[in-house]
Amino acid sequence: MTRDLNATGRWLKRLKQGLAAEPQDRQELLEVLRDCRERGIVDGDALGMIEGVLEVGDLQVRDIMVPRAQMIPVRREQPLAQIMATVVESGHSRFPVMDGDRDDIVGILLAKELLRLNGAPTHERFDIREFMRPAVFVPESKRLNVLLKDFRRNRNHMAIVVDEYGGVAGLCTIEDVIEQIVGEIDDEFDVEDEHNIRREGERQFAVHGATRISEFNEFFGAHLSQEQGVDTVAGLLIRQLGRLPRRGEVVTLDGFEFRVLRADRRRVDALRVTAPHDVAPPDSGGAD
């Protein structure tokens, strides 16, 4: 512990020495910190997190939420087999439970709770109410730093976002908030770093947003446009939409379906691509 405190003290001393003058506002503070990065006092990752912390206080839930149209819910009356299919296909760990329409969210289903059914007799009646947890509702205007405090205090990981009329506008998770500070958090469903393109199924592939269009075309035998100075698959989607796509959004180009798996307000990180029936990519695990 003493060693950690000493290291922190030395870091703060170096930071103080790097301050030419006391900053008067946030912009000046960021300029000083960026200057410190250039001089090696603060590394790039630390600066990125500091900027994220400062930004979170200004952002509202509506800025990062998954929109209502892109939510993947389950219905309370659905049989277990259908719910399990949704869980497996999406790869999510939490699901809003609807009763009627998307404005009527009655709870949150944790996928891991369904593990209790493993080995249970198939004739037993399934009642999703035994597996649901209460849903937490927050307004679109809630500040992200306040929401993060609520998540930590109440041990919730998902909130249903409602608009001013009480209708469901989307959802937000604790991971969404944390990623605004530390950057993208990869998990087992993300594209592996060593492959830009990885087969997931017969016609499904995980693709890095930064994959060059030429590499994509060569892998799939496709002919996606490389005009107007766009070099990557993510750039192609942005040009098609005229804006950054949101997570869960789907774009179809030349018969290929592109579903955005991970994106923030700066970039598109990961995509799930469904190839047309008449395309036969190689059977190898991925493309370098």
Model confidence over 88-128: pLDDT tens digits? 877 788 999 998 777 889 999 998 888 877 766 655 678 88
In a domain, 55, yes or no: no
In a domain, 130, yes or no: yes
Model confidence over 52-76: pLDDT tens digits? 788 788 888 988 888 887 788 999 9
Model confidence over 156-204: pLDDT tens digits? 899 999 998 889 999 999 988 888 877 666 554 454 455 789 888 778 8
Pair (204, 176) in one structural domain:
no
Can you list the alpha helix ranges (DSSP code H) found in 68-112?
80-90
Pair (88, 176) in one structural domain:
yes
Pair (37, 75) in one structural domain:
no
pLDDT at 266: 67
Pair (91, 203) in one structural domain:
no
Give the position of tokens 């009356």.
77
Pair (233, 169) in one structural domain:
no
Q: Which structural domain range is residue 37 located in?
A: 2-42
Q: How far apart are CA 274 and CA 255, in angstroms?
A: 9
Pair (241, 271) in one structural domain:
yes
In a domain, 172, yes or no: yes
The amino acid present at 69, given as its one-letter code, is A
CATH number of the domain bearing residue 125: 3.10.580.10
Q: Could you tell me the two tokens for 157?
A: 């990981």
pTM score, whole prediction: 0.58
Pair (68, 178) in one structural domain:
yes
pLDDT at 1: 47
Tell me the β-bridge partners of 230: none
Pair (66, 117) in one structural domain:
yes
In a domain, 166, yes or no: yes
Give me the number of domains the chain comprises. 3
Phi, psi of 13, rounded to the nearest 5 degrees:
-65, -45
CATH number of the domain bearing residue 274: 3.30.465.10
What DSSP line would sit under 200-236, residue for residue? -SSSEEEEETT-BHHHHHHHHT------TT--BHHHH
β strands within the chain, DSSP E? 66-67, 74-75, 94-99, 101-110, 132-133, 137-139, 158-162, 168-173, 197-199, 204-208, 250-253, 256-263, 268-274, 286-287
